[in-house]
Amino acid sequence: MSKNRVAVAMSGGVDSSVAAAFLKEKGYDVIGLTMNLQNEVGHSCFSQDVEDAQCVARILDIPHHVVSFEEAFQKHVIDYFVTSYLNGRTPNPCAVCNQTIKFGELLKKAQTLGATYLATGHYAKVTYDAKQERYQLQRGKERGKDQSYFLARLSQDVLKHILFPVGSFTKMKIRKLAERFGLPVAEKKESQEVCFIPGGDVVDFIRKQTDRPFQSGPIVDGKNQPLGTHPGIVGYTIGQRKGLGIALGEPVYVTKIAASTNTVFVGKEQDLYQKAFEGSDTHWISNQKINGSMRFKTRIRYQHRPDWADVFPIKNGKVNVQFLKPQRAITPGQLAVFYDQDVVVGSAWIDKVKRE
């Protein structure tokens, strides 16, 4: 294994392409890896991404490989995604994919090819705290593109092998660097969809994965009064307003999904605001653990602006989290990430919302 060899996860986009070019310019021995996750060879979108990655690799004069992880991706990401919706939870496939596939299976593959490091185009930073003798995950320079949230499940053993070359730049700067490097993807648009659901139809995707009809059930208000019928809880998430199929003369939103009774609860806008939840499978990065209550800026989904919350460790790797101010649509299944300024302290999966 060469200390100077870096494998770059090349998606065919501008960020990972610039990451590869930047590392090559710095003198690293760079190889490019593009993941095939769903037996996608021949699919137009995947084929274009591979073609773009190969084109960049040729320009940079680096080796490029397409590596397949279909079975692992099905097991760790798709099955988790489907099961979450069937259980009335809203999954976070990117966080799970980063932990198990990109910085799991792909890192192992990179190491078999002699690479010490795996680099990606994520907007985040990894530093080393000599005092604590631990690697730190930090937010990227551009707040609007910061992706530290999706990386909050990474371990110390992984972080020491990771490079994020674009994390110290803005998106505008990355596109300018792509132009300077002569890369044809400088203006390539970013996809806003779940990568394994190109059309964006989650319900249809889950229907095809399960190959069985969904069970209809009641839509009720906060007092358990029936308001209508839903065709299956997989089509709903906390905070949803559109597509409820009921007309009450005022806006209503999904406030709770009870898989045990196959019930969707709805209420007014103010009913979405809560202050507390219980989290599970807590994972600490900057510290091995925290003792007693501590206050962190806490993010409950990627687009959520972090706000102050007190975090109380309890038994079995769980935490109670109490925000100082009510937050909109705290959603079971999503990831809560705890920050100390720019440093990711840790994370936990949101299990139960505690209602006032």
By annotation, the residues acting in catalysis are 97, 195
- In angstroms, the CA 336 to CA 243 distance is 27
- Total residue count of the chain as it appears in this document: 356
The identity of residue 16, as a single letter, is S
What are the C-alpha distances in Å from 152 to residues 67, 149, 198, 283? 25, 6, 25, 8
Scan for tokens 């409950």, then name that residue: 300
Triad 254, 257, 261: Cα angle to 5°? 135
**b/e for 124-148, b at 16 or more Cβ within 10 A?**
bbbeeeeeeebbbbbbbbbeebbbb
| Distance (Å, whole) CA 77 – CA 65 | 22
User: Contact, 31 vs 2, CB < 8 A?
Assistant: no
Q: Please report which helix (H) or strand (E) contains residue 343, including its range.
A: strand 343-354
